Amino acid sequence: AQSVTQPDIHITVSEGASLELRCNYSYGATPYLFWYVQSPGQGLQLLLKYFSGDTLVQGIKGFEAEFKRSQSSFNLRKPSVHWSDAAEYFCAVGARDSSYKLIFGSGTRLLVRP
């Protein structure tokens, strides 16, 4: 079955500290991979995506993610967290076909300590 696992429901980091959010997926083949962010009452905003090529992808707001095929992982990182990064983060996989249908993980809520 296709699925996305985000093992951390909540993560708390201090402002200025580094961040890593974990994502593992189960899929028949290498899917498209995405990270989205959702602030309270807001829709989803795309942070970055991996389709092919370089396995380290850069996104907006200083985020990056690394695709590791052997581990079926796509972890999100940021070297220095800002208070405005507090939000919910969702990892998603998408079919490599015309549907572009996404399967989302259950999310990780990031809290930032001042």
Partner 1 sequence: DTGVSQNPRHKITKRGQNVTFRCDPISEHNRLYWYRQTLGQGPEFLTYFQNEAQLEKSRLLSDRFSAERPKGSFSTLEIQRTEQGDSAMYLCATRDTGELFFGEGSRLTVL
List residues binding partner 1 (CB under 8 A): 4, 36, 41-46, 49, 90, 92, 99-107
Distances (CA, A) of 23 to 6, 30, 57, 98, 106: 5, 14, 15, 24, 10
Written as one letter, the residue type at 32 is: Y
- Between 71 and 106, CB nearer to partner 1: 106
The residue (of 15 and 49) whose beta carbon lies closer to partner 1 is 49
Number of Cβ atoms within 10 Å of the Cβ of 87: 19
* 72/104 with CB nearer partner 1: 104
- Where does residue 30 rank: exposed (0-12), middle (13-18), buried (19+ CB within 10 A)? middle
Shortest spacing between CB 80 and partner 1, in angstroms: 26
Q: CB nearer to partner 1: give 7 or 16.
A: 7
The tokens for 34 are 């995405």
DSSP 59: -
CB of 41 to partner 1, least distance (A): 7
| Least Å from the CB of residue 67 to partner 1 | 17
